[in-house]
Amino acid sequence: MTPDNLSLLAIPLAALYLAALACIYRILLSYRTAQGAIAWIIALVGLPYIAVPLFVLFGRSRFGGYVKARRMGDQSLTTLLDQFEKQTTSISNPGHEHFSDELQVLCKLSRQPFTSGNQCTLLKDGTATFEALFEAMEDARQYILLEFYIVRSDKVGQRIKAILERKLAQGVEVWFLYDDIGSVLLSRRWLNELSAAGARIASFGNGNVRRRRFQINFRNHRKLLVCDGKVGFVGGINLGDEYLGTAMDQEPWRDTHCRIEGPAVTGLQLAWLEDWHWASNIRPELDWHPSFDTGGDQQVLVLPTGPADTWETCTLFFLNSINNARTRIWIASPYFVPDFQIMNALQLAALRGVDVRILIPEKTDNRLIRLAAYSYLVQASQAGIGIYRYQPGFMHQKVVLVDDRYAAVGTANLDNRSMRLNFEITAVNTNGDFVRSVDTMLREDLEYCQRMTERDYQDRSILFRLSCRAVRLLAPLL
């Protein structure tokens, strides 16, 4: 190789290492875990031609564009939050007889109050959920707000579109927000027809490419519907046929959603508004006068979490629940890849005598996560943590049950993506009747589960165990 060729090669090589140094500089200023920071720095120094583009796409820990948008529109949102907290239904005062320090933490994480006077219905499968969703949309008189991670143009999707088109013709406004990564297979024709009928549609990513550039690792994993500011839904079910589990070649689908009527719906609406404002720079006029005539007496908090928050709100929610559990902590999640904080908290809970049970699916849509979950069996079994694999089909529900004190239904999984990368949302309910209904539901699920032990890992081949441990190293990316 001639000196001239070496000089030409030195220029891009120097540029590559300068880019690697810029990435390292950013890591040192903003890293959240030392392990992740060290892994990135080693890769950037040793393999910059691979690590630099990967870091640009996947390395950020904060959704910067959303943070900036939140600050720009924070005053109007803060005003709405202040009004919400001052409502007569708010019970978020530390001196309230119902209130504890544990619940106060949740309010601070969510920037929302607990409210009373709600009526919540547990929806235990796709059929019940879609029937309730369809009915609520048909009854809407002013507006319909939708936000879903996955939207498909299949039978369910076509039914949704038909209802929305009919409501648009009746003068009801429709605001539809979807995630462009989760809904990558959604047909352009479906979107165009709904838009032509008068719906306002925005993608969480494509609507703000300039501000969101190079942040494809962040996803809006929320699944919610609000009608007229009076009725809302939140849970694990997206808009697609697979959530019904009725196809001949499909495994049964086990999922959970929740219908909320009352003041807590304002919390869902606030979360939707912030996401919509980010995606479209538009703030629609909505009804902020909550419904008080639900006939319910349930206390509910809506907890939105995501990478634009000041703290790792989803991680802190789980840690708060696990650390404050007195008799039991049961968690149902399709993906079980906890970081060391969560795993240590679960172990400590089990060691102090708390009944710790983790429900995960036997059959999953992600083989890597299934392998990673096996690697936790020894730690879990030795501490007394029960890991139960749901056998009949794919269990996709995201449910937390703490003692007999409160239950949570939402979108957050027990993995790094939900803890740090995804925008999630959860409804926390302290009502005794609702907690008992969740208890009954999970006990029924446990009847279809098989408890795993450390032998299920240790008795497998060395190749399988190595694969599990190797995949676990990828936990921050799974």
453: Cα separation from own chain's centroid? 28
Catalytic residue among 228, 275, 415, 445: 228
Q: Given the residues 124, 161, 167, 223, select the one marked as catalytic.
A: 223
Among the listed residues 257, 398, 415, 445, the single catalytic one is: 398
Residues 269/232, Cβ–Cβ less than 8 Å: yes
Where residue 98 falls among pLDDT bands split at 50, 70, 90? low
Q: Annotated catalytic residue: which of 287, 355, 403, 456? A: 403
Which tokens hold the place of 299?
């206390």
- What size, in residues, is the chain? 478
Q: Do 64-95+116-300 and 313-477 fold alike per CATH? A: yes
Which CATH code is given to the segment(s) 64-95+116-300? Answer: 3.30.870.10
Report in angstroms the alpha-carbon separations of 427 from 74, 145, 230, 259, 413: 23, 17, 16, 10, 14
User: For this structure, is 221 an active site residue?
Assistant: yes
Among residues 124, 161, 167, 396, the one annotated as catalytic is 396
Helices (H), 86-154: 101-110, 126-139
pLDDT (tens digit per residue) in 315-348: 999 999 999 999 999 999 999 999 889 999 999 9
- What radius of gyration do the chain's Cα atoms show? 23
The residues with which 406 forms a beta bridge, in sequence order, are 402
Weakest mean pLDDT among 270-284, 360-374, 385-399, 409-423: 360-374
Cα 454 off chain centre by: 29
Per-residue pLDDT reduced to its tens digit, 211-249:
444 456 678 999 999 999 999 999 999 999 988 876 555
223 carries an active-site annotation: yes
Per-residue pLDDT at 5: 54
Is the predicted pLDDT of residue 48 greater than 90, yes or no? no
CA distance 136 to 167: 11
Confidence (pLDDT) at 208: 47
Per domain, the residue ranges of the chain are 3-58, 64-95+116-300, 313-477
**398 catalytically annotated:** yes
Mean pLDDT of 379-398: 92
Asked if the 313-477 domain carries CATH number 3.30.870.10, the reply is yes
CA dihedral 459, 463, 468, 470 (to 10 degrees): 150
Mean pLDDT of 451-473: 82
Name residue 121's beta-bridge partners.
259
Q: Which residue in the list 124, 161, 167, 221 is annotated as catalytic?
A: 221
Does the annotation count 403 as an active-site position?
Answer: yes
